[in-house]
Amino acid sequence: MGAQGMDETQAREAEEARSRFVERFAAELVEAGMTRMPARVFAALLASDSGALTSAELGKQLQVSPAAVSGAVRYLTQQHMVTREREPGTRRDLFRVHSNQWYEALTNRDSVLNRWQGTLKEGVDSLGADTPAGRRIYETLAFFDFVQTEMTEMMGRWREHRKTLDLD
């Protein structure tokens, strides 16, 4: 049922439920290593019906300053977890979370892993593959090689699986 079909009590209860979800999921993201404000903004966008909110809407919902929202969305856009769009007919920015945000965020890690792998290879070469440090670095490199191969295959399986879901 959309907001138009709700009475005032139902609308308030829905907003309270949304707020509880946002804070709980944000806390889970923080526990996993994300900083608090980007976690709250991401959870708020994820829980919004449209998947998109303006900076002012995010600030009002989360009861934070525009500067806090700005810093959070900067981080989230860098991580490819949200996109910045122009709200039609206005000069205001609209921040959107897409249904494939996890896919995009994980796929973006590929370039990070490539850079790490290059540096790790240099480390093995410069420290020597036969030294304890070289072997430890080589094991880290082997792990990232493994993760990258598995991630590529898993993302292919996800794309196929997603086609079977009734999401669009």
Name the domain boundary from 40, 64, 96.
96
DSSP 48: S
Q: Are residues 86 and 111 in the same domain?
A: no
Phi and psi at 137, nearest 5°, equal: -65, -40
Cβ–Cβ under 8 Å, residues 59 and 41: no
Q: Where in the sequence is the domain holding 44, given as residue range(s)? A: 3-96
**Pick from 92, 98, 83, 100: nearest CA to 48:** 98
pLDDT of residue 4: 58
DSSP 72: H
Q: Are residues 84 and 136 in the same domain?
A: no
Q: Are residues 38 and 63 in the same domain?
A: yes
Q: What angle in degrees, to the nearest 10, is found between the helix axes of 132-164 and 101-127?
A: 160
Residue 2 reports pLDDT greater than 60 = no
Q: Are residues 122 and 82 in the same domain?
A: no
Other Cβ atoms closer than 10 A to 38: 24
CA dihedral 12, 16, 18, 21 (to 10 degrees): -170
Name the domain boundary from 69, 96, 123.
96
Residue 159 reports pLDDT greater than 90 = no
Number of domains in the chain: 2
**Tens digits of residue pLDDT in 112-123:** 788 889 999 999
Average confidence (pLDDT) over 125-134: 94
Q: Are residues 65 and 118 in the same domain?
A: no
Q: Are residues 111 and 52 in the same domain?
A: no
Q: Are residues 82 and 140 in the same domain?
A: no
**Tens digits of residue pLDDT in 7-54:** 899 989 988 999 999 999 999 999 989 999 999 999 999 999 899 999
Q: How far apart are CA 5 and CA 11, in angstroms?
A: 9
User: Checking DSSP bridges between strand 93-96 and strand 52-54, what pairing results, if any?
Assistant: antiparallel
Write the single-letter amino acid at 110. Answer: D
Name the domain boundary from 96, 124, 151.
96
Q: How confident is the model at residue 1 (pLDDT cuts 50, 70, 90)?
A: very low
Task: State how far the alpha carbon of 85 is from the alpha carbons of 66, 78, 96, 97, 160, in Å.
Answer: 17, 14, 7, 11, 29
Global pTM? 0.73
**Pick from 67, 54, 56, 68: nearest CA to 26:** 68
Q: How far apart are CA 81 and CA 62, in angstroms?
A: 18
